[in-house]
């Protein structure tokens, strides 16, 4: 077999066999297929696509390229959740303790973030002492004892995807449905969960800008799950504005705590209820979505979801008093108001620009080596459909280093699209694919 023939075949729109896909991915992992051939291969896939079976083969090859976690020592049906990425998305911090309180074991490995704000692991590190590295045995033991553990991705999970993703990033081949679907699902399959709930974002701040493309991506991922025997449900949710009000690491922990206490922003609460209810049904802790939602609401109301977060923090050596008293989380030295320059109604808030503004303040990483500032970020005071008068506060910057505040402010003002006529609330969940 030769890489050039396989690239040629895909370039001409033909269907590749399992052996051909394995040859490319294994060869790339081992170094016998060079970057330039894999780049051409990715570009051929970008233009010609892949059918469901090819995409499943590609996914499994990448999943097999490194460690595959066996979660069988953990009792019960393990349900994982993954978001395709959005600004202000702190759902894992709410969902993990909430669904654990309702009986679904959560053994979740999360990443650090590159860009916008940190990942779940960075956010958790704003809680003093919180340990994100646990041995496999300690991880399993904790989930069996308290139903939940959140740790950093350790070991060697999907190295082929890691290499390919870095190459796609610099060859304009990120936004390809089979490539995104196989990348996401290879990591989920290697991480070992029995069932998977996906939050596929749609809108200006998402990989997929249109609902049609988002549904195609969701369907591709659900098909992979079905093909490999992991039940998968995808929720298509809005990313035409950031989720919730707070963006930044400690700030997002604070908003997650508020939500677990039943006083979080309605969009974050509602999305967590939708994602969580599907996790409960897949985990066989509820027979219907309505029953699942009622159970989750009860765990918020009686304080057990919030208590579970405290237990999680305590079990991983974090300072649980910070959860009880979020004013003890890291706070920035200064707050700066960002004011509207004109009047109208908020039609959309360019999520990506808000993410970049947060990164400029230090909440995210510009390069892998950047240090993030856990305290800084943005508090959005106006959301879609809100009326705005010139001079109203659109957002409050939480800053430690004022040198980039004016650039961040300018980006935020530009990110707000105002309409002269009243704007209707958009749906938060557009579709569910299963």
Closer of 82 and 308 to ligand URA (Cβ): 82
Residue 53: HSE in the Cβ half-sphere, 13 Å Cα cutoff:
7
Closer of 179 and 286 to ligand URA (Cβ): 179
Closer of 165 and 430 to ligand URA (Cβ): 165
161 is catalytic: yes
Nearest distance, CB of residue 91 and ligand URA, angstroms: 16
Nearest distance, CB of residue 298 and ligand URA, angstroms: 34
Closer of 83 and 259 to ligand URA (Cβ): 83
175 is catalytic: no
**CA-closest candidate to residue 149, choices 188, 182, 120:** 120
Nearest distance, CB of residue 215 and ligand URA, angstroms: 17
What is the rounded distance in angstroms from the CA atom of residue 339 to the CA atom of residue 334?
16
Closer of 180 and 239 to ligand URA (Cβ): 180
122 is catalytic: no
Q: Which long-range contacts does 368-373 make (Cβ < 8 Å, 24+ apart)?
A: 368/114, 372/117, 372/118, 372/122, 372/249, 373/332, 373/400, 373/401
Q: Are strands 148-152 and 106-110 parallel, antiparallel or unpaired?
A: parallel
- Among the listed residues 168, 310, 365, 411, the single catalytic one is 168
End-to-end CA distance of the chain, in Å? Answer: 37
Nearest distance, CB of residue 43 and ligand URA, angstroms: 15
Closer of 84 and 142 to ligand URA (Cβ): 84
- Among the listed residues 161, 194, 240, 373, the single catalytic one is 161
- Among the listed residues 187, 269, 299, 382, the single catalytic one is 187
Applying CB under 6 A, the residues found at the interface with ligand URA are 84, 165, 174, 179-180, 183-184
342 is catalytic: no
User: By beta-carbon distance, which residue lies closest to ligand URA?
Assistant: 183
Nearest distance, CB of residue 208 and ligand URA, angstroms: 10
- Among the listed residues 110, 183, 214, 409, the single catalytic one is 183
Nearest distance, CB of residue 334 and ligand URA, angstroms: 34
Phi-psi region of 378 (alpha: psi -120 to 50; beta: other; left: phi over 0): beta
Nearest distance, CB of residue 164 and ligand URA, angstroms: 9
Residue 287 burial (10 A CB sphere; 0-12, 13-18, 19+): exposed
Closer of 180 and 433 to ligand URA (Cβ): 180
What is the rounded distance in angstroms from the CA atom of residue 155 to the CA atom of residue 335?
40
Nearest distance, CB of residue 207 and ligand URA, angstroms: 6
- Among the listed residues 78, 82, 90, 310, the single catalytic one is 82
187 is catalytic: yes
Kindly list the catalytic residues: 82, 161, 168, 183, 187
């Amino acid at each position: 077999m030769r890489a050039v023939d396989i690239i040629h075949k895909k370039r001409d729109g033909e269907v590749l066999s399992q052996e051909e896909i394995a040859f490319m991915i294994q060869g790339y992992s081992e170094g016998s297929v060079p970057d330039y051939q894999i780049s051409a291969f990715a570009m051929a896939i970008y233009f010609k696509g892949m059918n469901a079976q090819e995409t499943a083969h590609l996914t499994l090859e990448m999943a097999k390229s490194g460690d595959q976690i066996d979660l069988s020592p953990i009792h019960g049906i393990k349900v994982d959740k993954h978001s395709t990425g959005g600004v202000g998305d702190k759902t894992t911090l709410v969902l993990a303790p909430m669904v654990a309180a309702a009986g679904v074991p959560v053994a979740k490995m999360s990443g650090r973030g590159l860009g916008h704000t940190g990942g779940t692991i960075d956010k958790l590190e704003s809680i003093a002492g919180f340990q994100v590295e646990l041995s496999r045995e300690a991880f399993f033991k904790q989930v069996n004892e308290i139903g939940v553990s959140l740790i950093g991705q350790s070991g060697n999970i999907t190295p082929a995807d890691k290499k390919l993703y870095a190459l796609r990033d610099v060859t304009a081949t990120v936004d390809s449905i089979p490539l995104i679907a196989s990348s996401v699902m290879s990591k989920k399959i290697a991480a070992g969960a029995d069932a998977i709930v996906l939050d596929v974002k749609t809108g200006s701040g998402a990989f997929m800008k249109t609902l049609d493309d988002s549904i195609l991506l969701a369907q591709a991922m659900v098909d992979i799950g079905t093909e490999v025997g992991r039940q998968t449900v995808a929720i298509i949710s809005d990313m035409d504005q950031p989720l919730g009000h707070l963006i930044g690491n400690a700030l997002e922990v604070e908003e997650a705590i508020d939500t677990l206490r039943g006083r979080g922003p309605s969009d974050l609460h509602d999305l967590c209820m939708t994602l969580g209810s599907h996790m409960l049904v897949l985990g066989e802790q509820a027979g219907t979505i309505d029953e699942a939602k009622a159970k989750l609401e009860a765990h918020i109301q009686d304080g057990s979801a919030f208590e579970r977060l405290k237990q999680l923090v305590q079990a991983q050596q974090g300072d649980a008093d910070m959860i009880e008293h979020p004013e003890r989380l890291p706070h920035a030295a200064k707050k700066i108001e960002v004011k509207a320059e004109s009047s109208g109604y908020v039609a959309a808030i360019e999520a990506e620009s808000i993410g970049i503004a947060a990164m400029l303040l230090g909440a995210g990483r510009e390069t892998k080596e950047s240090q993030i500032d856990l305290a800084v970020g943005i508090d959005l005071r106006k959301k879609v459909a809100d009326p705005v008068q010139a001079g109203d506060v659109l957002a409050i910057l939480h800053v430690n280093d004022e040198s980039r505040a004016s650039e961040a402010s300018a980006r935020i003002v530009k990110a707000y699209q105002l309409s002269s006529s009243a704007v209707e609330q958009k749906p938060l969940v557009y579709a569910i694919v299963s």
